[in-house]
Structure formats: structure tokens, C-alpha cells
Amino acid sequence: MHIQYFGLSSFKITTKEATLITDPFHKDSGLTPPRGAAEILVLAEKNKKLYSAVSGISGEHFDVTDPGEYDIKGVTITGIPLKQEDHYVTAFLIESEDLRILNLTHIKDFNMKQDEIEELGEIDILILPVGGNTVMSAAAAAKVVNEIEPKVIIPSHYKMPGLIIDVDPLDKFLKEMGGKKEEMEKLTIKKKDLAEEGTRVVVLEPLR
């Protein structure tokens, strides 16, 4: 499996059978919207223009836009609605190639109860927003990491060149996590690569 990052809460996940793109952002963000072909398109808020700029995504893609369970091309996706003040944002559990990814998209409040977290099962990779303001703060994101205990953390939705949305820099979250990080353009990972203990913080260079 390969995981790449466009910016905000938009990722490209490539498995042996399918390419999946999440939350392609609008040019109103200040960034150039994601482009590319995909078999699966995942939207946490289908009615929010900022996170659903789908015109740059080509190919005949199956769109996952609502809570529920979906099986497409060897990928199982479970949409989990999370209440955010006066609306819902969907988080997604993505399972493929024996890896389990929990993508917390662009939530601000992680309000799952302990038994709901346990029902998720073991999470290999946690993608979570860390920039504060409209999404989780660095401190809140670090607390979620402690609750879920993933093997790999990929932070998202933080300040980067060109972005005009008011969010904090990544360093704030990294400080909460002790400062350790691995930087790469693309995370290539298999189940056997996961460490038995400890958590890796992987910072992905945004695709341009």
C-alpha cells in the first residue's frame, strides 16, 4: 500500500486493486485542487465545497459519501458519523491488504466513547487533523493518539505554503508528540513492516 498527501484532509491511497482519493479540496483554500484518476472517492462532507472539489478526479469512481459499510475492489470502508456542534462529519475506517487505517478527515471534536473506540479494533495507521481552529488542536490530537494507540500517525490539515485557511503549523503537534518524526514523499507500507511496540509519526510531503 502507498499513501500520499495532497494537503488539508486530502490523501491518495493506492492498493494493489484500487486508487482511493479523500476530500479533494477547492481552490478557495489557496492550494491547487488535487487531480488524478481514482476508482474510489471518499468525501467526509459531500455538501461542503471546500472538501469536495471532485472535478479534478478522473476515471469511473465509486463515491463513498455517507456513513455505512462499503466493499469496493478489495477495500472495505466503514463511514462513522461524528457529531460536530450543529452538523456531522464522517470519519472512515479503511481496510485493505491486512492494514487498517482510521481517517479522522477534518473533525474538530473526537467524541467517540471508550467502548466505541474498542469496537474499532486495532488501528494500524491513524490519519488525523492537527491544525486547530476548525479542526482538532495539537493537544486534542495528541490525546486522541493516546486513546487509539496506532502504530503509525500521519498528521494532516496544518499550515503549509499557499494555504490561506487559518491553521497552526505542524511543529505544534510534533512538540506534543515529543518531536520525533519521519519525513517522506510517500509512505509505502505492508502489515509486516509495522513495529510491535511504539508509534511512528510520518510527515508526508504534499503532492504538487
Q: Convert the pLDDT of each residue in 32-71 to its tens digit.
A: 999 999 999 999 999 999 999 999 999 999 999 999 999 9
Can you give the pTM of this predicted structure? 0.96
Residue 191's alpha-carbon distances to 164, 196, 203, in angstroms, are: 37, 11, 19
**Rounded (5°) CA angle 201-88-93:** 40
The residue segments making up the domain with residue 125 are: 2-204
The strand pair at 87-96 and 75-84 is best described as: antiparallel
CATH code, domain carrying 128: 3.60.15.10
Q: How far apart are CA 138 and CA 14, in angstroms?
A: 28
Number of domains in the chain: 1
- 6-39 pLDDT tens trace: 999 999 999 999 999 999 999 999 999 999 999 9
